[in-house]
């Protein structure tokens, strides 16, 4: 499949260089993203020089060099700003340095300056930048703002003062390859936002407390444009994506939304989970079930995204070797780490000869701050008494 590359003007002197990666199946070799992801680099054409902000994944290095050439002469690049050293943003930089004979000065966090050599074994002219430092490069005013743990400790952003533009790297980004480059189309934005939530839950979730700190540091800048390293560029209503991130970071929930996570070896837990699902539908809840069975494996990253802003969660899993079914344990560990601990929860568990999973699941969720409303445990297949308990437990789930 041909690689889709987009070049457009963000401002009169700032270009976006975007490649749509539809080949990647697992972001960071972990999170399923059938929808793909974009890598957005930016090129600022100044007076007597150009500044490149970030790059693309290494597999697209050759295409990136040719894309830059379609806009400017590579010899005009005087500076490269590395906002974040993760390889989806820095992977093409060694090739760019090679074809430019390492002439550009690399501006980055002090840690990133060290990591450049460690990751790629390249020699470059590096200059660490300080938090809040302002520089004049190629006649353009830039301010560098540290945003640690969003999502690596060396992440920075650039505020381009002349255009009141924030080049935000991973902050305010999202999965998918939107049909448009900018947020001008409401339909495109509405379709895109769930991918922002999924990205936030998967990549930023463990460090969500740092989002508000970053937003506070940027307060007063009068930002009119946000240009992330993934997804849409926000120029019509940039505050929309900021508000969305703040809501996610603060644990905002969708009223009546319930995510059911069901791991079922031979159908017993699945039967029980579907009873709860049917009861939730009767109550007009926005319920979605993720079924992990001998024939199905859902996207765990989609699941994580839905859990993130759910009002309640249901976890159904059997006991396995005197413990929690392994996949269910891993999912709950991710929820513990990455998801706000403010949800109502119902635990369902089956067993054959010894029950362990239900109690352990309840302990894990309570330890993460979730309110376990009920624990329904049964031996073998759910009987009529168990089915009635499940209906009663569903009532408790969304009752304040």
Q: Which pLDDT tens digit goes with each residue over 88-113?
A: 999 999 999 999 999 999 999 999 99
Amino acid 1: pLDDT: 66
Distances (CA, A) of 311 to 198, 200, 344, 345, 348: 16, 17, 7, 9, 18
Degrees to nearest 5, angle at CA 261 with 260 and 262 = 110
pTM of the model: 0.95
One pLDDT digit (tens) per residue for the chain, 400 residues: 689 999 999 999 999 999 999 999 999 999 999 999 999 999 999 999 999 999 999 999 999 999 999 999 999 999 999 999 999 999 999 999 999 999 999 999 999 999 999 999 998 999 999 999 999 999 999 999 999 999 999 999 999 999 999 999 999 999 999 999 999 999 999 999 999 999 999 999 999 999 999 999 999 999 999 999 999 999 999 999 999 999 999 999 999 999 999 999 999 999 999 999 999 999 999 999 999 999 999 999 999 999 999 999 999 999 999 999 999 999 999 999 999 999 999 999 999 988 899 999 999 999 999 999 999 999 999 999 999 999 999 999 987 5
Distances (CA, A) of 84 to 81, 94, 142, 190: 9, 15, 17, 28
Provide the residue ranges of all domains of the chain, joining segments of one domain with +: 4-249, 254-395
Domain 254-395, CATH class in plain words: alpha beta
Handedness of CA 55, 58, 59, 61 (dihedral sign): positive
> Are residues 351 and 377 in contact, defined by beta-carbon separation less than 8 angstroms?
yes
> Are residues 81 and 104 in contact, defined by beta-carbon separation less than 8 angstroms?
no
> Are residues 271 and 262 in contact, defined by beta-carbon separation less than 8 angstroms?
no
Domain 4-249, CATH class in plain words: alpha beta
> Are residues 127 and 120 in contact, defined by beta-carbon separation less than 8 angstroms?
no
């Amino acid at each position: 499949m041909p690689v889709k590359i987009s070049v457009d003007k963000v401002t009169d002197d700032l270009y976006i260089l975007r490649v749509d990666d539809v080949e990647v199946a697992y972001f960071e070799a972990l999170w399923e993203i059938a929808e793909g992801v974009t890598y957005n680099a930016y090129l600022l054409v100044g007076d007597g020089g150009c500044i490149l902000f970030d790059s693309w994944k290494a597999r697209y290095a050759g295409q990136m060099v040719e894309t830059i050439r379609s806009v400017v002469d590579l010899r005009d690049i005087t500076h490269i700003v590395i906002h974040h050293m993760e390889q989806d943003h820095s992977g093409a930089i060694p090739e760019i340095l090679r074809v430019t004979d390492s002439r550009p000065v690399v501006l980055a966090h002090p840690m990133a300056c060290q990591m450049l050599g460690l990751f790629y074994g390249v020699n470059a002219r590096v200059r660490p930048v300080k938090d809040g430092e302002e520089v004049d490069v190629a006649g353009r005013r830039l301010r560098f703002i540290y945003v640690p743990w969003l999502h690596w400790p060396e992440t920075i952003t650039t505020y381009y003062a002349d255009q009141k533009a924030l080049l935000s790297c991973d902050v305010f980004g999202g999965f998918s390859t939107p049909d448009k480059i900018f947020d001008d189309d409401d339909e495109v934005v509405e379709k895109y936002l769930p991918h922002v939530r999924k990205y936030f839950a998967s990549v930023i979730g463990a460090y969500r407390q740092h989002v508000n700190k970053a937003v506070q540091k940027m307060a007063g800048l009068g930002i009119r444009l946000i240009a992330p390293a993934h997804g849409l560029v926000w120029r019509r209503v940039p505050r929309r994506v900021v508000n969305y991130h703040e809501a996610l970071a603060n644990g905002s929930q969708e009223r009546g939304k319930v995510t059911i996570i069901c791991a079922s070896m031979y159908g017993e837990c699945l039967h029980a989970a579907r009873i709860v699902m049917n009861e939730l539908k009767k109550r007009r809840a926005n319920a979605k079930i993720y079924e992990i069975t001998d024939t199905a494996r859902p996207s765990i990253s989609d699941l994580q995204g839905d859990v993130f802003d759910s009002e309640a969660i249901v976890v159904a899993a059997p006991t396995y070797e005197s413990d929690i079914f392994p996949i269910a344990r891993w999912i709950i560990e991710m929820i513990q780490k990455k998801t706000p601990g403010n949800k109502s929860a119902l635990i369902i568990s089956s067993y054959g000869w010894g029950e362990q999973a239900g109690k352990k699941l309840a302990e894990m969720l309570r330890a993460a701050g979730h309110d376990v409303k009920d624990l329904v445990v049964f031996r073998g297949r759910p009987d009529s008494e168990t089915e009635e308990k499940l209906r009663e437990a569903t009532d408790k789930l969304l009752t304040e």
